[in-house]
Amino acid sequence: MEKIQFFGNKRANILATGGSGSGKTVAACNTFFKMAMDGGVALGDDIRFDLIASGNSAGGDIHDFAEKYRDMIKGTLPVGSTDDHIYDFAFRRNGERLCQIRWMDYRGSLRTTDYDDGDWEHFFEMLERATLLIYIISGELINDYISIKDGSLTGEKKALKRIDISEEVSHINTLMEKTKELRGSGDETPVLFYVTQSDYIKYDDDNRKLEEIISFLRANELLKKGRKILCCHSTLGRDIRLSEERNNIVAGFAPEGFEIPLMLTVGYALSEAGKEWEQEENAKIDAAIAEQELAVFNKMEKKGALANQFQTRLLKILKMEREDIRRLEYQIQKAKEEIGELKVEQEKMKQNNTLKKYSQDILNYVRSGGYACLVDEKGDRVPLDEFFK
Ligand SMILES: Nc1nc2c(ncn2[C@@H]2O[C@H](COP(=O)(O)OP(=O)(O)OP(=O)(O)O)[C@@H](O)[C@H]2O)c(=O)[nH]1
Ligand SMILES: [Mg+2]
């Protein structure tokens, strides 16, 4: 097995912000099962990624997730959360632990009133440390936006849906401002707009869904400058049918896309850790190269001074001095060779940056699914590869 070359555990923090009923708990549970069942997810024949529960409450967490998942298979959806919950996971690649993950699933009621000071502190702490800034938008809202745009919603219904959209956008803007306050205005943490319940979007094609999500973001001025902006979507089933109260699944349970926010988060964390490691190694090798270059410079000066001396004195060079020059020439040659070897080592080190390589594998996995895209501040699509650069 390949050896990991970083020091200590890399960490990723996940906080997907969204209102009550936006699908946070469904997302946590389905992500866990997608990544824990059948040995996780695969990239080609040789690479597998999976998730294990870790930490003191691992046993209880697995049990809770299993209960919820069993209920969903039998047709019952989770009731709204009454408490916040922190999950600890370890992300693995071919059985090797790569990254510790802390995932906060909070009760969306924080948008109403029942959060006390302690709850807020907890939430803000997570907002400050989250690896990506994830904003959940319901697929139903995106569909309302489409229906307003294409004229299929009119009159009072349209007016009401416009308020719903504006309420949601206001929440996101407020959160964005709060995040800036906590992390400083120079913060460049990437933003992920995560559309849950994407079965509500009237177009089945994934690309079309993503186009409509981007159109929504553009129309509502949510594409901020100076940041990488990602979009993705998930659903409990493309053709899912729920009961009228929406607490039961009538047919079509076939979850899709839930692992994508996790994969994007871990990929980004590993790529940042890889960059950090490379910078540290580079600095060490750069220092060694500078030392050798200084040695070459000093010896050239000494050699120059000796040669100069003979010329000005018009003396014949002494045997002892000739040996001095030869010794200096030899040392200069050796130092130059050493510099060459250090430069080769530097190149090799960059190629052996396994953290970057692993993050690239994760990106390749995400790209193969078509549930996510990267856009610039104008909303134009950019190749997903640019995300980790
Ligand atoms: N159609 C559809 N409905 C979904 C999907 N995911 C979640 N829902 C609906 O959304 C409801 C709430 O999902 P939760 O995951 O409990 O939402 P939450 O964000 O955790 O809500 P709180 O815990 O109250 O903050 C579910 O009971 C379903 O009715 C989906 O992919 N498709
Ligand atoms: Mg919940």
Quick: pLDDT tens for 155-178: 999 999 999 999 999 999 999 999
Q: What pLDDT, on a 0 to 100 scale, did the predictor assign at position 197?
A: 98
Q: What pLDDT, on a 0 to 100 scale, did the predictor assign at position 311?
A: 67
Residue 162's Cα: distance from chain center in Å? 32
Indicate whether 196 and 233 sit together in one domain.
Answer: yes
Residues of the chain with pLDDT > 70, as a percent, come to 95
- Decide whether any atom of ligand 1 lies within 6 Å of the 340 Cβ: no
Percentages helix, strand, coil for the chain, rounded to the nearest 5? 55, 20, 25
125 belongs to a structural domain: yes
1 belongs to a structural domain: no
**Helix or strand or coil: residue 222?**
coil
Q: How far is the CA of 143 from the centre of ligand 1 (A)?
A: 16
Indicate whether 291 and 177 sit together in one domain.
Answer: no
Range of the domain at 341: 277-358
In ligand 1, which atom is closest to the CA atom of 200? 1
Q: How far is the CA of 23 from the centre of ligand 1 (A)?
A: 4
pLDDT for 351 beyond 90: no
Is the CB of residue 138 less than 8 Å from the CB of residue 196? yes
222 belongs to a structural domain: yes
Is the CB of residue 84 less than 8 Å from the CB of residue 107? yes
Quickly state the pLDDT bin for 55 (edges 50, 70, 90): confident
Those residues whose beta carbon sits under 5 angstroms from the ion ligand 2 are: 24-25, 81
Average pLDDT over residues 244-267: 96
C-alpha span between 252 and 250 (Å, rounded): 7
Indicate whether 188 and 128 sit together in one domain.
Answer: yes
Which one has a higher pLDDT value, 263 or 316?
263
Average confidence score pLDDT of the chain:
91
Which one has a higher pLDDT value, 135 or 304?
135
Average pLDDT over residues 29-37: 96
Indicate whether 19 and 78 sit together in one domain.
Answer: yes
Q: What pLDDT, on a 0 to 100 scale, did the predictor assign at position 133?
A: 94
48 belongs to a structural domain: yes
Q: How far is the CA of 295 from the centre of ligand 1 (A)?
A: 67
Indicate whether 200 and 314 sit together in one domain.
Answer: no
Indicate whether 51 and 184 sit together in one domain.
Answer: yes
Instruction: Specify the DSSP element, H or E, that contains 88.
Output: strand 85-93
112 belongs to a structural domain: yes
Indicate whether 171 and 315 sit together in one domain.
Answer: no
Indicate whether 251 and 220 sit together in one domain.
Answer: yes
Produce one character per residue of 99-116: b if its CB has 16 or more CB atoms within 10 Å, e if not.
bbbbbbbbbbbbeeeebe
Ligand closest to Cα of 109 equals 1
Residue 271's Cα: distance from chain center in Å? 8
Indicate whether 186 and 292 sit together in one domain.
Answer: no
CATH of the domain at 152: 3.40.50.300
| Residue with CA at minimum distance from ligand 1 atom 1 | 197
Quickly state the pLDDT bin for 352 (edges 50, 70, 90): confident
Q: What pLDDT, on a 0 to 100 scale, did the predictor assign at position 7?
A: 39
The token pair at 127 is: 């907002």
Q: What pLDDT, on a 0 to 100 scale, did the predictor assign at position 317?
A: 67
Q: How far is the CA of 246 from the centre of ligand 1 (A)?
A: 9
- Decide whether any atom of ligand 1 lies within 6 Å of the 256 Cβ: no
Indicate whether 304 and 220 sit together in one domain.
Answer: no
C-alpha span between 225 and 96 (Å, rounded): 37
4 belongs to a structural domain: no
Q: What pLDDT, on a 0 to 100 scale, did the predictor assign at position 115?
A: 80
The per-residue pLDDT for range 291-325, each reduced to its tens digit, is: 999 999 999 998 888 888 776 665 666 777 788 88
Which one has a higher pLDDT value, 120 or 61?
61
C-alpha span between 132 and 11 (Å, rounded): 12
Quickly state the pLDDT bin for 377 (edges 50, 70, 90): very high
What pTM value is reported for the model? 0.89
| Residue with CA at minimum distance from ligand 1 atom 21 | 21
Q: What pLDDT, on a 0 to 100 scale, did the predictor assign at position 109?
A: 75
Residues found in the chain: 389
Summary count for the chain: helices (H), strands (E): 9, 12
Which one has a higher pLDDT value, 311 or 144?
144
Domain count, the chain: 2
Q: What pLDDT, on a 0 to 100 scale, did the predictor assign at position 116?
A: 82
346 belongs to a structural domain: yes
Is the CB of residue 227 less than 8 Å from the CB of residue 221? no
Give the HSE-up count for residue 237: Cα atoms under 13 Å, Cβ half-sphere: 14
**Helix or strand or coil: residue 238?**
coil
246 belongs to a structural domain: yes
In ligand 1, which atom is closest to the CA atom of 27? 15
| Residue with CA at minimum distance from ligand 1 atom 5 | 197
- Decide whether any atom of ligand 1 lies within 6 Å of the 77 Cβ: yes
**Burial of 138: CB neighbours in 10 Å, binned 0-12, 13-18, 19+:** buried
Indicate whether 86 and 160 sit together in one domain.
Answer: yes
C-alpha span between 33 and 27 (Å, rounded): 10
Indicate whether 307 and 194 sit together in one domain.
Answer: no
Is the CB of residue 142 less than 8 Å from the CB of residue 212? yes
| Residue with CA at minimum distance from ligand 1 atom 13 | 23
Is the CB of residue 39 less than 8 Å from the CB of residue 270? no
